[in-house]
Amino acid sequence: MIRYYLIGLIILTIAILANIIVAKLGLKTWYDFLNSTENSSFTLMDYLWLFAIYPLILGLTAKLGLIIWEKLF
């Protein structure tokens, strides 16, 4: 159970950092996507970020969490 908690903390930390970085780059976050209205405009890069790059980063972070867990224990 502690293993999943550690991996979850790592994913959460990277997700927060990623959201801070993309907000500074001017890309939309999931918060923007879920609260969008009909007048909201999303670019191709916004969609690539939300549906390809962000999930990839989170998946790789989960793998990183497993590697860290194996190194520590």
- Residue 39 has what pLDDT? 76
Average the pLDDT over 41-63 and give the result: 96
Between CA 19 and CA 70 the distance in angstroms is 27
Portion of the chain with pLDDT greater than 90, in percent: 85
For the chain, the straight-line distance linking the first and the last C-alpha, in angstroms and rounded, comes to: 13
- Residue 5 has what pLDDT? 95
pTM reported for the whole predicted model = 0.85
pLDDT tens for residues 12-35? 999 999 999 999 999 999 999 999
Evaluate if residue 66 carries a pLDDT over 90.
yes
Between CA 33 and CA 41 the distance in angstroms is 10
Between CA 8 and CA 72 the distance in angstroms is 16
